[in-house]
């Protein structure tokens, strides 16, 4: 089918093919020219690198080695001057002479002459030290020989410093010359490459920009809008209308489809919220609660049983009469916030049952555990502070009826709600701010105020 469609639009297909062939030809020419000039430039760079490796780098390394030798000679001269043993002085003196003979002629006339002079001075230091030791043994003065050794040491150190400065200067000069040659070669290469590739490079950029703008961008925009529709996000129209008729039709169709989908999605969200949530508190509504309770009672994988906490604010009518319905709504919203933030409950659901009545259903281990949770909830509610105009804050309390259905004692949803409601009535009649279990309500057994112990 698609082949027949494309054959029916041979004119548009031919134009796209011609554009593709033209781009391919330009790319081939660009590649050939770039390869030729790159080969020439790399050959030149290779020759310069060979010259640097065979001439410049050995020169720098030679100067560096000579500088290291000079530092070594300075250390040996210090060792001769500080030594107090004739054998050690002789060994160090031989090392100095060996280093002095190791300087090549290309190191410079001053360096070679200085190394020989240092060798002679090291010998004078050793000789003066030996004469000083001999004079001390014969109880004659040795001060003159010590002065000769010190003078020879100072002259040797000064000579070595001059040698080091000359060698460092030569190495720095060679390194600077090498860096200058590399920099000039890099500049020539850069300008040549820019001059050679600027025109074809700009041409390729223009062609690629045209292809991206009029071919790739509409396709990518259509794909992005399809992904947005798939992710339930609104579609975004393309900034410029595609030149190609087929792409323009596809873009319009996808955008219209996305707008329709978004509108349907918004309506579904509103309907879902109206069907499942309470508009004031944001909790689940009564219908959602009853559906959830039936599913929980029929869940065979639950470990314990299902607990229902029926919660009613105490004296809520007097709050509305005294402070107004706006403060009353604030109390309901605060209670809803507490119920939605209860921790350590297994598979909980908090819902507004109607008016000032709320309900919590969850999986509990036992009836006793559900009663403990209800008492804890009473304390949480009593600890709330509701801001009131003209006053700092007010407190509210609530009464809670508890009903529990275990695996071994299954109950219908309506029966469990009725039991919780009766337990709530018992908590109200027993003084409010209490939690009462439905079985305790049948036996007249109540629970004291929040935090208290069960009493009869």
Which residues are known to be catalytic?
A: 356
Sign for the CA dihedral angle at 371, 414, 428, 393 comes to positive
If 0-12 CB within 10 Å is exposed, 13-18 middle and 19+ buried, where does residue 190 land?
Answer: exposed
CA-closest candidate to residue 336, choices 388, 292, 279 = 279
For residues 232 and 159, what is the distance between their CA atoms, to the nearest angstrom? 85
Partnered with residue 83 across adjacent β-strands are: none
Helix (H, G, I), strand (E, B) or coil at 3: helix
User: Do residues 278 and 284 touch, judged by C-beta distance below 8 A?
Assistant: yes
CA-closest candidate to residue 434, choices 374, 392, 388, 394 = 374
For residues 381 and 334, what is the distance between their CA atoms, to the nearest angstrom? 9
For residues 370 and 381, what is the distance between their CA atoms, to the nearest angstrom? 16
User: Do residues 244 and 235 touch, judged by C-beta distance below 8 A?
Assistant: no
Tell me the DSSP string of 198-230: HHHHHHHHHHHHHHIIIIIHHHHHHHHHHHHHH
User: Do residues 420 and 403 touch, judged by C-beta distance below 8 A?
Assistant: yes
Helix (H, G, I), strand (E, B) or coil at 386: strand
> If residue 105 lies in a helix (H) or strand (E), which one and from where to where?
none
For residues 141 and 429, what is the distance between their CA atoms, to the nearest angstrom? 123
Tell me the DSSP string of 304-363: SEEEEEEEEETTHHHHHHHH-HHHHHHHHHHHHHHHHT--S-EEEEEEEEETTEEEEEEE
Strand bridging mode 398-406 / 386-388: unpaired
CB < 8 Å & 24+ apart, contacts of 49-55: 52/178, 52/181, 52/182
For residues 266 and 260, what is the distance between their CA atoms, to the nearest angstrom? 10
Torsions phi, psi for 132 (to 5 deg): -65, -40
Give alpha helix (H) positions in 341-447: 367-382, 413-429, 438-443
């Amino acid at each position: 089918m698609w082949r027949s469609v494309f054959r029916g639009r041979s004119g548009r297909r031919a134009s796209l093919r011609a554009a593709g062939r033209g781009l391919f030809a330009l790319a081939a020419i660009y590649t050939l020219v770039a390869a030729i000039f790159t080969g020439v430039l790399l050959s030149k760079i290779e020759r310069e690198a060979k010259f640097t490796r065979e001439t410049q780098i050995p020169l720098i390394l030679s100067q560096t080695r000579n500088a290291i030798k000079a530092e070594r000679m300075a250390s040996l001269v210090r060792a001769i001057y500080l030594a107090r043993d004739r054998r050690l002085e002789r060994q160090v003196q031989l090392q100095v002479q060996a280093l002095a003979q190791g300087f090549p002629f290309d190191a410079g006339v001053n360096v070679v002459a200085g190394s020989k002079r240092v060798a002679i001075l090291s010998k004078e230091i050793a000789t003066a030290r030996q004469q000083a030791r001999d004079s001390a043994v014969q109880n004659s003065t040795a001060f003159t020989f010590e002065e000769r050794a010190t003078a020879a040491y100072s002259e040797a150190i000064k000579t070595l410093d001059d040698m080091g400065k000359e060698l460092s200067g030569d190495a720095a000069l060679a390194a600077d010359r090498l860096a200058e040659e590399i920099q000039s070669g890099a500049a020539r290469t850069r300008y040549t490459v820019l001059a050679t590739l600027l025109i074809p490079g700009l041409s390729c950029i223009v062609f690629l920009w045209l292809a991206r703008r009029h071919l790739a961008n509409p396709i990518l925009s259509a794909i992005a809008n399809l992904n947005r529709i798939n992710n339930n996000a609104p579609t975004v129209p393309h900034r410029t209308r595609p030149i190609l008729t087929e792409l323009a039709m596809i873009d319009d169709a996808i955008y219209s489809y996305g707008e329709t989908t978004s509108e349907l999605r918004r309506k579904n969200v509103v309907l879902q919220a109206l069907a499942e949530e309470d508009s004031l508190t944001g909790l689940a509504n009564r219908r959602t609660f009853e559906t959830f309770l039936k599913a929980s009672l029929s869940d065979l994988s639950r470990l314990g049983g299902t607990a229902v906490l029926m919660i009613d604010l105490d004296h809520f009518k007097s709050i509305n009469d005294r402070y107004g319905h706006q403060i009353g709504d604030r109390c309901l919203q605060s209670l809803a916030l507490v119920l939605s933030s209860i921790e350590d409950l297994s598979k909980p659901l908090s819902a507004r049952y109607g008016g000032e009545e709320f309900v919590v259903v969850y999986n509990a281990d036992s009836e006793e555990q559900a009663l403990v949770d209800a008492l804890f909830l009473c304390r949480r509610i009593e600890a709330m502070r509701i801001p009131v105009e003209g006053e700092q804050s007010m407190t509210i309390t609530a009464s809670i009826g508890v009903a529990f259905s275990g695996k071994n004692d299954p109950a219908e949803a309506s029966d469990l709600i009725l039991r919780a409601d009766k337990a709530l009535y018992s908590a109200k009649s027993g003084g409010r701010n209490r939690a009462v279990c439905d079985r305790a309500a049948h036996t007249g057994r109540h629970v004291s105020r929040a935090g208290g112990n069960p009493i009869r």
